[in-house]
């Protein structure tokens, strides 16, 4: 595990109480790894990138009809946790 993942892992473990049975009370890294979507300036910034990936290869006519606000509202299956310097950690709810 890279050093850059320690802070989000500890934040996630504190927030959702995701611990495995071990003498060190460490978070379950495999669950973390499945859910973690990186550190972002905001939830909206993450979703903008997700939308761009979805729309790759779409014709311009289809993209102009895509309702980004509705998509963002519908994407409630993420946990957003505060990160240092005003950023957020994004986690996919499984």
3-class DSSP state for residue 55? Answer: coil
**Number of domains present in the structure of the chain:** 1
What local confidence, expressed as pLDDT, does residue 80 receive?
93
Q: Show the tokens assigned to 27.
A: 């978070």
Domain span at residue 62 reads: 3-92
List per-residue pLDDT tens for the chain, 94 residues long.
678 898 998 898 888 765 544 555 555 677 888 899 999 999 999 999 999 999 999 999 999 999 988 988 887 789 999 999 999 999 998 8
Q: Are 33 and 86 in contact (CB under 8 A)?
A: no
Report the C-alpha gap between 34 and 12 in whole angstroms.
Answer: 12
Q: Show the tokens assigned to 74.
A: 């519908």
Report the C-alpha gap between 11 and 8 in whole angstroms.
Answer: 5
């Amino acid at each position: 595990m890279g050093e850059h993942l320690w802070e989000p892992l500890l934040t996630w473990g504190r927030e959702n109480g995701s611990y495995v049975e071990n003498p060190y009370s460490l978070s379950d890294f495999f669950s973390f790894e499945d859910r973690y979507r990186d550190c972002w300036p905001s939830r909206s910034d993450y979703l903008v990138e997700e939308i761009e990936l979805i729309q790759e290869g779409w014709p311009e006519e289809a993209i102009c009809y895509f309702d980004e606000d509705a998509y963002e509202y519908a994407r409630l299956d993420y946990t957003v946790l505060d990160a240092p310097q005003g950023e957020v950690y994004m986690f996919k709810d499984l």
